[in-house]
């Protein structure tokens, strides 16, 4: 079984309890304007070029089967101008011809080229996961599926989560909530914790900023209520071998709201979101995550425009104020940061 991943990141401490390995799976049905993982928007191999690191040595050009080369008329970052015989990789304007074979990545002496999405075998992913098993057991950690959107490769996710469940590791998932419940519910039942996003309560605004309406997300938040019931009810949705996370009780739920200044940081949005969560999931918590711009360098590496510098980072005072609104609706705050 093969699938597309961005990376397996060991020693993650913000994606659930303890020390975890996070599997970033590629492909996503949303197009959030603040996305910090743009390489994960589609499930297809991608190579990045970090211009700031590039020394213009030309090793990538020599290795490239597509003949993507060096532009001798452009100044290199480190060595000045082309009259020194060193130019700049022409990848920035020839990337359309790239077949993502990765030969330039292996050839580059300074890691200025990188595999940002690769097609991998499930066995290789599981091997990487197992290397850190002692950290999981000593810290109460495990494995977290993230993305992109992990449910956008349902067969690969099903396979990996079944294998990892049988290895006995804790599993969490981070999801944007845009999935077909009937195709994914048995996978979710294996998790110990589900982080599901609710980016905007107003459907028109949700559509404006993410490219899709939030109806499916709201429906799936309501669907998660099955996990707050006695274990006997969960047994109706576990897989054919009866796998259920959280010691058979089914997963806990944390609804995550990424707080983007100027987009969804108004009191009305947070209040309406918390009200909805409280009325459908009495035991769920909400985590508010302040917007950040860490993904900007990835846009540069992929040659994608970074279009929204106007989104602002909410202040600590603002975040505390919004947390108070959540609590005022009877919902507990979660904090994994």
DSSP class of residue 312 equals B
Selected binder of ligand SF4 within 108, 198, 238, 255 (CB under 6 A): 108
Interaction pattern, residues 32-51, with ligand SF4; x per rule: CB under 6 A: ---------------x----
Instruction: Examine residue 69 and tell whether it contacts ligand SF4 (CB under 6 A).
Output: no
Q: Is 23 in the site for ligand SF4 (CB under 6 A)?
A: no
Question: Rule CB under 6 A: is residue 116 a binding residue for ligand SF4?
Answer: no
**301 sits near ligand SF4 (criterion: CB under 6 A):** no
Q: Does 56 help bind ligand SF4 (rule: CB under 6 A)? A: yes
Beta bridge partners of 257: 288
Between 120 and 187, CB nearer to ligand SF4:
120
- Which of 44, 110, 231, 313 is in the footprint of ligand SF4 by CB under 6 A? 110
92 lies in the binding site for ligand SF4 (CB under 6 A): no
Does residue 101 interact with ligand SF4 by CB under 6 A?
Answer: yes
Give the C-alpha separation, 153 to 315, whole Å. Answer: 36
* Dihedral angle over CA of 291, 146, 326, 209, nearest 10: 50
Are the beta carbons of 106 and 63 closer than 8 angstroms? yes
How many residues in the shown chain lie near ligand SF4 by CB under 6 A? 27
Q: Does 57 bind ligand SF4 (CB under 6 A)?
A: yes
* Displacement of CA 157 from its chain's centroid (Å): 14
What order do you get walking across the sheet with 252-259 strand by strand? 46-49, 113-121, 2-12, 20-25, 142-147, 170-175, 193-197, 252-259, 285-290, 332-333
**Is there binding between residue 212 and ligand SF4 (CB under 6 A)?**
no
Q: What is the DSSP string of 69-135?
A: -EETTSPBTTTB-GGGT--EETHHHHGGG-----HHHHH-TTS-EEEEEEEEEHHHHHHHHHTTHHH
Which of 29, 69, 102, 295 binds ligand SF4 (CB under 6 A)? It is 102
Which residue ranges make up the site for ligand SF4 (CB under 6 A)? 47, 54-60, 63-66, 68, 89, 91, 98-104, 107-108, 110, 112-113
């Amino acid at each position: 079984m093969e699938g597309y991943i961005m990376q397996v990141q060991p020693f993650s401490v913000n994606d659930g309890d303890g020390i975890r390995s996070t599997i970033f799976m590629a492909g996503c049905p949303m197009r959030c304007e603040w996305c910090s993982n743009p390489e994960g928007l589609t499930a297809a191999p991608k190579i990045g070029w970090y211009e700031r690191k590039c020394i213009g040595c030309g090793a990538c050009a020599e290795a490239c089967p597509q003949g993507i080369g060096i532009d001798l008329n452009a100044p290199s970052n480190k060595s000045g101008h082309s009259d020194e015989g060193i130019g700049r990789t022409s990848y920035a304007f020839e990337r359309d011809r790239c077949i993502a074979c990765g030969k330039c990545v292996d050839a580059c002496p300074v890691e200025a080229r990188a595999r940002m999405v690769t097609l991998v075998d499930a066995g290789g992913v599981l091997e990487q996961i197992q290397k850190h098993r002692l950290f999981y057991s000593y810290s109460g950690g495990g494995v977290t599926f993230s993305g992109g959107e992990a449910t956008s490769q349902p067969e690969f996710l099903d396979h990996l989560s079944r294998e990892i469940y049988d290895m006995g590791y804790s599993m969490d998932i981070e999801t944007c909530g845009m999935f077909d419940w009937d195709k994914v519910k048995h996978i979710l039942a294996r998790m110990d914790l589900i982080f599901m996003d609710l980016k905007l309560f107003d459907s028109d605004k949700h559509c404006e900023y993410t490219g899709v309406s939030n109806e499916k997300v709201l429906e799936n938040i309501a669907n998660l209520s099955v996990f707050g019931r006695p274990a006997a009810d969960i047994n109706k949705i576990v897989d054919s071998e009866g796998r259920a996370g959280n010691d058979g009780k089914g997963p806990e739920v944390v609804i995550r709201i990424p707080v983007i200044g100027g987009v969804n940081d108004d009191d009305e949005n947070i209040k309406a979101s918390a009200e909805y969560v409280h009325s459908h999931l009495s035991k769920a918590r909400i985590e508010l995550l302040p917007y950040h711009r860490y993904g900007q360098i990835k846009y540069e590496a992929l040659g994608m425009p970074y279009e929204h510098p106007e989104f602002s980072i909410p202040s600590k005072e603002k975040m505390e104020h919004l947390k108070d609104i959540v609590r005022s609706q009877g919902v507990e705050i979660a904090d994994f940061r």
